[in-house]
Amino acid sequence: MTQQCITLDQPQEWQKALEHIPHSFFHTWEYCRALSLTDGQDSFLYRFEHEDCRIVCPLHERSFSGQLDLVTPYGFSGFTGTGYHPEFPEHWEKFVKSQKYICGYLGLNPILEPAICFPENNYYSHNATYVLDLSRDTMQIYAGMSQNRRRQVRKGDQHLHLYEREQLIRFFLENYHDFMEQKQAAGVYRFSQETLRSMLASENMMIVGAGRPDRVEAVSLFAYTPYVADFLFNVSIEEGRQHSVALIWHALQQLRSLGIPWLNLGGGVRENDSLAEFKARFGATKQPLKALKQIYDPTTYRQLCLQVQTDPEDMAGYFPAYRK
């Protein structure tokens, strides 16, 4: 039995650990390194192996009052792997306690979650995401859309043009921060230019654009692996808001041609809000967004909560409660 922490200065080891394991772009070294260019904090890849069971999970250490807790990096990562080991939760518990972690908030991928049986009270659902099955043929996907969405797809094709990749990258970088500010996006989206450039440099990043023949008006980014694709960002100027449907339709056809079986469109800011409804109209399946909330050192966890006057028993709200 092997447990290992692979750091960002070990890109080849990281890549090797992911070989033949279903994973998303959010599990990759490229993504985790890109994030570090914004917050300056290094992630690592936890790796477990025993016989035919292999499990990985990217993780981030955070400090609070001299104590450490764990969190998965922003995005859809979490535990993923192959095979089954009934005693994995016990091995995981021994690992986190040996590292003196107080607790962990571990997001789970709605498509790639492996067969790991943590105690039922560790699992919490806080939102939902929308997933498209790309193994169906194009007409089946089209037929599954709402009537209004099909009309928008037909109308939108005329705005799709062939642009040079560098032209799309330039538009995205020039407009990203203003667009996010206009949308009053959460602070987690305040990525540095270095992070954005690093993501855009990945060979697993699809960039599609729409507008006029002489001007880009909207760009969407889709990150992918052989196992799943994720809709990351849409950035547009005011005239380009009408292109969002056409961009997703164009991208899903391209992803389908690459043999990628799933497209995760993401969800809304809140469950069932207007953004969630926009994605649901593509005929996507609604999947709960789940996370593990785990306390490894109950005594210290309670002390930290009382230190900032939050309720250590509140597991349904923000976690860990002392960071509320």
> Region 50-59: what's the mean pLDDT?
94
Q: What is the pLDDT of residue 252?
A: 96
Q: What is the pLDDT of residue 157?
A: 66
Give the CA distances from residue 112 to residues 76, 189, 228, 261, 262, in Å, rounded to whole numbers and listed in that order.
Answer: 9, 24, 9, 12, 10
As beta bridge partners, residue 101 has 68
Strand pairing of 205-212 and 67-71?
Answer: unpaired
Inform me whether the pLDDT recorded for 234 exceeds 70.
Answer: yes
Tens digit of pLDDT for each residue in 85-128?
889 999 999 999 999 999 999 999 999 987 788 999 999 998 99
* DSSP per-residue codes, 20-89: TS---GGGSHHHHHHHHHHH-PPEEEEEEEETTEEEEEEEEEEEETTEEEEEPPSSS---EEES--TTHH
User: Largest Cα–Cα distance in the chain?
Assistant: 63
Q: What is the pLDDT of residue 162?
A: 65
Tens digit of pLDDT for each residue in 145-192?
999 999 999 887 666 666 789 999 999 999 999 999 999 988 899 999
Whole-number mean pLDDT of the chain?
Answer: 94
- Domains present along the chain, CATH in parentheses: 2-127+289-323 (3.40.630), 130-287 (3.40.630.30)
Tokens of 112: 């790639």
Report how far residue 81's alpha carbon sits from residue 2's, in angstroms, rounded to the nearest whole number: 14
Rg (CA), the chain: 21
What is the pTM assigned to this prediction? 0.95
Report how far residue 104's alpha carbon sits from residue 157's, in angstroms, rounded to the nearest whole number: 45
Q: What is the pLDDT of residue 39?
A: 84
Inform me whether the pLDDT recorded for 245 exceeds 80.
Answer: yes
Confidence of residue 213 (pLDDT cuts 50, 70, 90): confident
Give the CA distances from residue 137 to residues 57, 140, 253, 259, in Å, rounded to whole numbers and listed in that order.
Answer: 32, 5, 9, 11
Q: What is the pLDDT of residue 17?
A: 98
As beta bridge partners, residue 74 has none
